[in-house]
Each structure stands twice: as C-alpha cells, then as structure tokens.
Structure 1
C-alpha cells in the first residue's frame, strides 16, 4: 500500500469580512495574541490583518476569563505568541464558528506522494492521510495526481468514501488496471 500525505505549507487565509474595506480575506501574519487584564479577569484575542488594507481585527480566544482558570504554561504560550498555539486555534472549527470565519486553503497545502508505477502489480491500494483538516474532494485530488481525466476516475478508481463529497479526513482508494 502506498501512502500519500496532505500537508500544510502555510496557515490558510481567513474568509472574514473587513470592517474598513470590501475585502473578505485576512491573514494571521506572524500570529500574534493580545492578552488584556482587567482586574482578575483576562481577555485573549488573536490578531488578524486584512490582506488588502492591513486593518487589524481581533478574534476572541477567551473573554472575561478568571486568571486562575488559565494553566500558567498556556498563558505563557499566549504571551510568547507560540506558532503552534496560533495554528491550533485557527484550525479549531469551534473557534472559527464562534468568530464567524472560514478557512481558505488555496495555495496553503501540498500533496507528498510517491509516484504510482505502472509496472507494479495491479490493483494498487493508496492511503491518503491528512496532517491538517484541508477540505478536498477525493476524486479531484486523485485525478490531478494520477493525471486522469474526470471521466476516467470512476472507471479506474474505487473509493472507500463517496468521491463527490469534500473530506478532510483520511481515505483509501484502489487504482485498477487499465482495460
């Protein structure tokens, strides 16, 4: 069985309406958090910038949370703008829903795949693994990587998931011999 890996090359852009211009794309840039104390309560925001006008907006991570509710190590990660923490917050679907944005993965991922050799014994089973939740249609990914037309995919490929649905979870498929 061959393994293909879908990997993130950069953080995806956010589809988020800008308050200053008509743009609907924002980026985290270097990924900076802002922590604000108000007495014994903390607010934590993730700062994002509009790609068109450079306007800064805040996405709420924690709002009016008691200082004691934070793990000291986690609070330190917010203060040091930990890149892994930025990525985990952005890729969290609940965080996206709460802050009303979606992720735009165009140009933010790559497929690491060994070539399927034509001299191998048929059928060839391939497993596709995702390191991050990149939404892809299995049929389009396979057609692009194997150089097949979209009409050829149903004849040569057997999927374990329906190929018309977008997925961000791993899946397997089998490449059948050309008849």
Structure 2
C-alpha cells in the first residue's frame, strides 16, 4: 500500500536580474540593479510609473517603464498603493518580467542563489513510500529542475536522471525535457522514496535558509 508524503517547495531567487545597459556616466555597458523603488508621475488624469535601477558601478539611474500614460481610474487601488509605497513584492514582479526587460537590454544577468521554503501538506501517517513535491515559484528563478532537486535532496543530477529513467520520478505537467528545463510554478514532482539511496524522507521537508519574498498584488 502506498503512503504519500505531500510537500510544497516555495522557490524564490535571492537577487533580481540585472540588465546590462550603456551608462552615460561610466561611458560603458554596465549592469544595472533594481532599487526596489518606483518613480511615479501624475499629469491630469493619467499616470506614469517607472521602476528605478542604479548602475552597479556609479549609481547612475535608469527608469524601467511600468505604466505609461495610464488613466488613474483604470489602475487597481491595490496596485496604485503599492506603487506609491514602493512595495518590494511589486518591484520584484516587474524586475522579473524578462520579456519586457528584454526590450530595453539584450543582456540580462540572472543569479542561481535561491531560497527554498518547504511546507508539509499531508499528515505524517506511517512510512512514506512516495513523495509529491508541489513547486511554487512566483518568480522566474533561472535554475534547472534537475539541479534544484539534486541540490535539495543531496543527490547528483545523474542520479536524478536515473530515477526518471527508471520511472521512480515523474513530473507534471508531463514533458520529456522537464528536468533539463527551468523550474516552473505549478509543477508537481512525484518520487518513489524506496528508490532513493537514503531512508530519510525528512529531506523533502527540511527547510533551506534564506528569506522568502512575498507575492505581489496583481492587476
């Protein structure tokens, strides 16, 4: 009889991506770092908002457009409040909008450092034969799924691949290349614990150190 251990892993990057831009003060292409602060300008009934970046070398500012000539009455009150209060979670959501950021920079630097916050979702009844990991990734963390699993479970990436080849590990949504692709929000990984080279299921729930960033309000 199978006993299922259900856990959630909330995966959060510790740094926001850095676009490389021409810095007029340095007269060179340099990385720009999000300040997590917004600049907001209202004209009549329209509003413009930018996420402020700073050159990593000289503090020269660059404004990343967030809202352009947007009617104030068309902005959700929670979003407007977050903009005026420099809400860090909203700043992170825009800083990880790599599609829009890519319109301004052809080179965006990402970082692999992560916080993985683990939460037990099912009661500990007996010895688990299988574990189901639900991935919550509010931001694009830029790390492959096999690397995340290997790091958190103390295995090599080749061991993770062998588990998948032996049908002891599966990923939903189903994708034959899921392990080699970046971690995605909503993924579910099921692992046959009996196929692991250790007998300690607590690794699935052992919390990694590091701060977690709260979710941003959505429009």
TM value normalised by structure 2: 0.63
Question: Per-residue displacement from partner, 1:81-125 (whole Å, max 9, x unpaired)?
Answer: 222322232234554345447462332x222348xxxxx554x32
Equivalent residue for 2:170? 159
C-alpha separation in 1, matches of 2:10 and 2:72 = 38
Q: Unpaired runs of 5+ in structure 2?
A: 120-126, 198-219
Aligned twin of 2:211: none
Query: Equivalents in 2 of 1:78, 1:37: separation in Å?
Result: 12
Cα offset, 1:74, TM superposition: 3.4
- The match for 1:86 among 82, 88, 91 is 91
Cα deviations by residue, 1:43-63 (Å, 9 ceiling, x for unpaired): 211101122222110000112
Task: Name which of 105, 127, 133 aligns with 1:127.
Answer: 133
Provide Cα deviations, 1:22-52, integer angstroms capped at 9, x if missing partner. Answer: 45432223x2111223444332111011222
CA distance in 1 between partners of 2:85 and 2:196 (Å): 55
Measured in 2, the distance between the counterparts of 1:67 and 1:145 equals 45
Q: Which of 146-155 and 95-104 deviates more?
A: 95-104
Residue 168 of structure 1 is aligned with which of 181, 184, 203? Answer: 184
The 3 A distance-change label for structure 1 pair 54 and 2 is same
Correspondent of 2:18 among 11, 14, 26:
14
Single out whichever of 17-26 and 140-149 deviates more from structure 2. 17-26
SS, match of residue 106 in structure 1: coil
For the aligned residue pairs, the C-alpha RMSD in angstroms reads: 3.1
Report 1:29-40 matches (<5 A).
29=35, 31-40=36-45
1:36 and 1:43 in contact (8 A); partners too: yes
TM-score, length basis structure 1: 0.74
Unaligned runs of at least 5 residues, structure 1: 115-119
- Is 1:47–1:59's contact at 8 Å kept on the other side of the alignment? yes
* Aligned residues of 2:54 and 2:62 also touching (Cα < 8 A): yes
Q: Hey, what does 2:34 align to over in structure 1?
A: 28
Distance in structure 1 (CA, Å) of the matches to 2:17 and 2:98: 14
Q: CA 1:45–1:172 in structure 2 vs 1: closer, same or farther (change >3 Å)?
A: same
Q: Aligned with 1:59: secondary structure?
A: strand
1:177 counterpart residue number = 195
